[in-house]
Structure formats: structure tokens, C-alpha cells
């Protein structure tokens, strides 16, 4: 549904040959093909459980991540685009026509954006450090053809933190989601915007992630019968990943006690945010709301 059949065969044969580097970041061992299938399939099980109303929300704790994988290329630790496959799977199997993907990983999900760039059935909303790897995700990337207006990028300057992310969610994501009326919300949950994750330079705290998850949980309750499915993307500080996943599950299960052992960031620099959010509101025609 997302990848070239030739690409999938190539990944399989690389594993059979004992593994190899697929790009400068992405290495495969003999078992990586199987792991990548389990990652994509694990998320499909999580989607199925929500769509069949066995649970309201679910979280696929999978590796490898997926949002950088394109139709025929592995990159940025990603082999198959788990979240894109899950969106197509949901559209194909559960009689729905609109899926919202929210991606708060610190990197732009170029593969996910590409998969749905011309598609009005999947709205892709991403916050990500910019300029940064993989280089895509500026505000003027809004989709094309039938998909124009169904890609919403919120590039974040290094140093922004909880307050900026929460405002991006409250002032851009919420009105965009209400306009789109999704029937399912998928979340590419990368915890690498945390201040203690040294791969990038954002200043989000565990409490900040919990606030973002609260917005998503409220949107799912309001718009799509609580159908909300998370999948793990990046996150390279293991204490952060553990605490952030726990905080996510606490919000989803209604526990108000959020544990934040790492505390708030001290290096937040909000400069430039007002101008950026104003520009995005203008592009989305949200200034009146
Ligand atoms: Zn990332």
C-alpha cells in the first residue's frame, strides 16, 4: 500500500545476505526485515483493536521507527513507514474516509508527507525542528493537487519548548482537526524533542509531552469516538523515552498524576515564535478564529 514491491524484496534480500547499511544512518542485521515487519504489523494490530472498539486508544511500542521511510528508500533508522501503512490499512478495511496523522517527533516525517502529499483522505500535521534533518517540512509544503491543504507543517526553531508546542497544538492543530473531522487519529510519537535528548535542540519536557497528549486525547473524544493510536518514532535518551511513554499512557488512562523525573528545560529561547505562528495562521486562514 505504501512501498514498491521491489523495495520490499530488496530489504528481504539484504537481511538474507546478513545485513548491510541502507543509508549512512540505517543499518540492517539479519533479523531486521522480520523486526520491520513486526513493527508495521504491530501498529496494524493496534489500529484494529481501536477500530473494532476493543479499546479506545492504543500505543504500538515498536522498533524500527518509520516516518522517514519513503516509497522506495530506507533512511533515518526507518525501513517501512509504519504510520503510513497504518493509515492506508485503516482506510482500506474499516469503511472510513478521513485519517489525521499527528507527528511530534523532532524530525520531519518526510516519508509520511510524501505518501499522502496528493491525498485528501489523510491530513498530515507535523511539528519538527527546522532547519534540521531530513531538510523538508517548511510552511509552504501544504500538499498538491487533491491533497492541497492536507499537509500542515509547523517548523520549530531550536530552543523552543513546552509553551511553543502547546500553542502550536492549541492554535493550529485543534482548528485544523475540527475542519477536517478525522474518523481516526494516528500519532507518530517521537520523544526526541525532549531537552535531555542530545540528537536535537528542542526544549520539551515530559510534562510538555503530557500536555500535547492531553490535547490529542481531547480531540479524539470530541471528533472520532476516542479512536487514537500512537506509534513510537524517535527518542534516544532512554530515561526520557520510558518516562514519556509512561506519561502518555497515564494521560490515555485518565491518571492525572504525571511523573516528570527530569523536570523543565532551562535553555528555552522563544524568539521568533510569534512571527512563525502568525504566518501559519495566515496560511491556514485561522486569524479570525
Ligand atoms: Zn526523530
Question: Mean pLDDT, 10 residues at a time, over the chain (289 residues)?
Answer: 98 98 97 98 98 98 98 98 99 98 98 98 98 98 97 98 98 98 98 98 98 98 98 98 98 95 96 98 81
**Can you give the pLDDT at residue 285?**
87
What's the 88 CA to ligand 1 centre distance in angstroms?
Answer: 22
What's the 37 CA to ligand 1 centre distance in angstroms?
Answer: 20
**Can you give the pLDDT at residue 256?**
86
Tell me which residue of 78, 44, 77, 72 sits closest to 58, measured CA to CA. Answer: 44
Asked if 59 contacts 230 with a C-beta cutoff of 8 angstroms, the reply is yes
Give the dihedral sign, CA 194/196/197/198.
Answer: positive
**Can you give the pLDDT at residue 286?**
84
DSSP-assigned beta bridge partners for residue 156 = 129
**Can you give the pLDDT at residue 76?**
98
What's the 276 CA to ligand 1 centre distance in angstroms?
Answer: 21
Active site amino acids: 68
State the pTM of this model. 0.98
Residue 60 parent element (H or E)? strand 57-60
**Can you give the pLDDT at residue 288?**
60
Quote the DSSP letter at residue 188: E
**Can you give the pLDDT at residue 48?**
98
What's the 125 CA to ligand 1 centre distance in angstroms?
Answer: 15
Length of the chain: 289
What's the rounded Cα separation, in Å, for the pair 19 and 136? Answer: 28
Helix axes 32-51, 82-93, angle to 10 degrees: 40
Number of CB atoms found within 10 A of residue 27's CB: 13
What's the 54 CA to ligand 1 centre distance in angstroms?
Answer: 30
* Geometric angle at alpha carbon 220, from 264 and 159, rounded to 5°: 25
Asked if 82 contacts 231 with a C-beta cutoff of 8 angstroms, the reply is yes
Phi, psi of 245 (to 5 degrees): -65, -40
Ordered alpha helix ranges (H), 25-157: 32-51, 82-93, 110-115
Give the dihedral sign, CA 101/105/106/112.
Answer: negative
Number of H helices, E strands in the chain: 9, 8
What's the rounded Cα separation, in Å, for the pair 120 and 129? Answer: 25
Tell me which residue of 120, 114, 192 sits closest to 149, measured CA to CA. Answer: 120
Quote the DSSP letter at residue 171: I
What's the 233 CA to ligand 1 centre distance in angstroms?
Answer: 6
What's the 99 CA to ligand 1 centre distance in angstroms?
Answer: 22
Amino acid at each position: 500500500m505504501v512501498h514498491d514491491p521491489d523495495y520490499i524484496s530488496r530489504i528481504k534480500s539484504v537481511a538474507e545476505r546478513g545485513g548491510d547499511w541502507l543509508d549512512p544512518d540505517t543499518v540492517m542485521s539479519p533479523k531486521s526485515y522480520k523486526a520491520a515487519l513486526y513493527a508495521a504489523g504491530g501498529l496494524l494490530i493496534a489500529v484494529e483493536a481501536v477500530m473494532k472498539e476493543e479499546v479506545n486508544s492504543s500505543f504500538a511500542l515498536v522498533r524500527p521507527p518509520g516516518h522517514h521511510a519513503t516509497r522506495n528508500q530506507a533512511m533515518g533508522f526507518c525501513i517501512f513507514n509504519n504510520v503510513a501503512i497504518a493509515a492506508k490499512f485503516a482506510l482500506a478495511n474499516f469503511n472510513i474516509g478521513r485519517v489525521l496523522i499527528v507527528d511530534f517527533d523532532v524530525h520531519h516525517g518526510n516519508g509520511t508527507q510524501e505518501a499522502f502529499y496528493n491525498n485528501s483522505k489523510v491530513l498530515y500535521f507535523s511539528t519538527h525542528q527546522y532547519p534540521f534533518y531530513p531538510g523538508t517540512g517548511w510552511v509552504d509544503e501544504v500538499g498538491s493537487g487533491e491533497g492541497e491543504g492536507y499537509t500542515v507543517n509547523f517548523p520549530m526553531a531550536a530552543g523552543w519548548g513546552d509553551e511553543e508546542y502547546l500553542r502550536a497544538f492549541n492554535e493550529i492543530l485543534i482548528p485544523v482537526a475540527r475542519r477536517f473531522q478525522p474518523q481516526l487519529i494516528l500519532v507518530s510519537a517521537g520523544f526526541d524533542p525532549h531537552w535531555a535528548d542530545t540528537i536535537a535542540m528542542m526544549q520539551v519536557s515530559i510534562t510538555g509531552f503530557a500536555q500535547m497528549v492531553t490535547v490529542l486525547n481531547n480531540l479524539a473524544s470530541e471528533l472520532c469516538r476516542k479512536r487514537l493510536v500512537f506509534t513510537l518514532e524517535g527518542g534516544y535518551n532512554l530515561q526520557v523515552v520510558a518516562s514519556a511513554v509512561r506519561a502518555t499512557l497515564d494521560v490515555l488512562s485518565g491518571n492525572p498524576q504525571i511523573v516528570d523525573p527530569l523536570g523543565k528545560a532551562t535553555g528555552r529561547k522563544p524568539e521568533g515564535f510569534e512571527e512563525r505562528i502568525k504566518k501559519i495562521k495566515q496560511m491556514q486562514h485561522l486569524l479570525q478564529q
